[in-house]
Amino acid sequence: MSVKPKPQHNHLLAALMPEVQDRLFPYLELVPLPLRAVLYESRRPMRHVYFPTDSIVSLQYLMENGASTAISVVGNEGLLGITLFLGGESTPSRSLVQSAGFAYRLPRQRVKEEFNRHGQLLLLMLRYTQALITQVSQTAVCNRHHSIDQQLCRWLLLSMDRLSHNHLTMTQEFIGNMLGVRREGVTQAALKLQQLGVISYSRGLIKVLDRPTLEKLSCECYSVVKKETDLLLNYLPQRSVITNIDAIPTVELITV
């Protein structure tokens, strides 16, 4: 039987002082986030802020022709719905679940009331917003200047940093859509990493064998985002390099 996630499994919620938690936690609602569920649709009214516990959500920009590309990923380090406390009621991007799990959601009015107290929640949300802006900006640079191989490395590293479990299930086509590339490009990039001994790739399962090398093969975009996130979100637990291969997170990649 799986353990019910607690609000404190989201690092931002866990960082709140007890008096702030006492005001907010009674209004939190635990909701399942199935794979590919859409939390926010472009230009639609937003009614809740989501705090992922063991899920990852991709913020995607959707083109008029239906093509899309991910501009950032959000996990247990933060929240979805910064537009609500910045004064807007909708967003031009779409929020799509890329790794299934759970999140706690809070009605927008409760978020605004606490935000307008000009206390700890305001400070944490603004710092998180700055970290998210860095990730969005760096993703735009990466998509323009770096190879599919480097983009895949960056995406694997960012995803593992935000997982509280060790599996991520999705199709090659879905990863291609997030990176804005063809599925064949994802397959070729994964094969190169396997040949270098960085990952194992068998029967739809990718297992990272050498994270330090994966970081070296990634472009500087990952390290820029990681350093800025660690600097701004000082409530995050420190992650050391994993030396036990059996403990290294794995990514299940389903071929279709």
Read off the CATH number of the domain in which 226 is found. 1.10.10.10
Residue where a domain stops, chosen among 140, 159, 175:
140
Statement: residue 18 has pLDDT above 90: yes
Give which of 101, 96, 92, 94 is closest to 37, Cα–Cα.
96
pTM for the full predicted model: 0.86
CA distance 154 to 137: 14
At residue 150 the predicted structure's pLDDT band, cuts being 50, 70 and 90, is very high
What's the domain range around 152? 146-254
Is pLDDT larger for residue 247 or for residue 136? 136
Same domain, residue pair 202 and 232: yes
Residue range 37-92, pLDDT digits in tens? 999 887 788 889 999 999 999 988 877 776 778 889 999 999 999 888 777 777 77
Residue where a domain stops, chosen among 101, 117, 140:
140
Query: Which two three-digit tokens encode residue 207?
Result: 């297992």
229 belongs to a structural domain: yes
8 belongs to a structural domain: no
Same domain, residue pair 199 and 124: no
Residue where a domain stops, chosen among 109, 125, 140:
140
Q: Give whole-number Cα distances, 87 to 82, 83, 91, 111, 116, in Å.
A: 9, 6, 11, 12, 11
Same domain, residue pair 197 and 166: yes
The three-class DSSP label of residue 181 is coil
Same domain, residue pair 108 and 151: no
Burial class (CB in 10 A: 0-12, 13-18, 19+), 1: exposed
Same domain, residue pair 192 and 114: no
Statement: residue 1 has pLDDT above 60: no
Same domain, residue pair 129 and 165: no
Mean pLDDT of the chain: 84
Statement: residue 242 has pLDDT above 50: no
The amino acid that residue 238 corresponds to is: Q
Lowest mean pLDDT among 59-68, 88-97, 106-115: 59-68
Q: What is the pLDDT of residue 91?
A: 76
Same domain, residue pair 108 and 78: yes
- For residue 63, how many other CB atoms are within 10 A of its CB? 9
Paired strand residues for 202:
205
